[in-house]
Amino acid sequence: MTDRYSVIGRPISHTKSPLIHGLFAEVTDQDLTYGSIEGSLDGFAAQVRGFRDEGGRGMNITAPFKLQAFELADARSERASLAKASNALKFENGKIYAENFDGIGLLRDIEHNLQTPLAGLQVLVLGAGGAVRGALLPFLAAGPARLVIANRDLNKARTLAKEVNHERLWVSAYEDLAGQHFDLVINATSASLTGELPPIGVAVFTQALLAYELAYGKGLTPFLRLAQDAGVPRIADGVGMLVEQAAEAFEWWRGVRPQTRPVIDRLTVPLE
């Protein structure tokens, strides 16, 4: 019997998840279908339970439902608990299990695909939202010399750092970044979605090896253009993270990990 999976979000028409998981199923010879569901702002929980009750085996969760998915679950991973959000659910034995693969997907893209191990690096992350929450545990476990979170709302960043309570995790206001240098700069703000630039200067890129934009498919965003103009040798958007987190969910559901490079190459939009 063919197993059923889906992604749910609002809006959902732009999603690449059915394509990605369809390709994964093809190359791993898995008997499954993967669809998409336009989520209801006031009926999300009923939609998830309905999909499960109709035989669904798992779901990916995208904006704006990651927090609701976390709250709906019967059991939650440590990563999901720190993020207080879930991007993947699994249905087993009548229970809903929540995971968050955003952070580990991002880490794998940076370390494996972009060949930039975090060990010993000075890392700057712009933003303190759900994506950053999900990334902190995997990032800190990779052993950076220092990981700095910069955010407009400094109290939000401080609260997050206090929850994590790690000696290599620091918080900074944007204006206090002057004079600091980083090997890796990650834009996890929503600025690029509206064509804006986070409030940073070119100096943060002085010694950067890589500038990474979580948004994907936007081409050369203002953040990436600033990094490029600063001479950063490598820039990347979040398409690799998208595919890698999908591969993590696929393995969690199916017990087999698909190759990701062909899918990343297929979805990559030139940064120009």
Task: Just list the catalytic residues.
Answer: 66
Task: For residue 179, count CB atoms less than 10 angstroms from its CB and return exposed for 0-12, middle for 13-18, buried for 19 or more.
Answer: exposed
Residue 258 DSSP class: P
Cβ 246 vs Cβ 60: under 8 Å: yes
The CA distance from 232 to 202, in Å, is: 10
Strand 56-61: give its sheet, edge to edge: 32-38, 3-9, 56-61, 88-92, 95-99, 75-76
Could you check whether the bond before residue 11 is cis, i.e. omega within 30 degrees of 0? yes
**Phi, psi angles (nearest 5°) of residue 61:** -120, 130
What separation in angstroms does the CA of 262 have from each of 91, 94, 200, 240, 266? 29, 35, 34, 11, 6
At 150, list the tokens. 């910069």
Which stretches of 148-191 are DSSP H helices?
154-164
* Helix (H) / strand (E) containing 211: strand 210-213
Cβ 16 vs Cβ 267: under 8 Å: yes
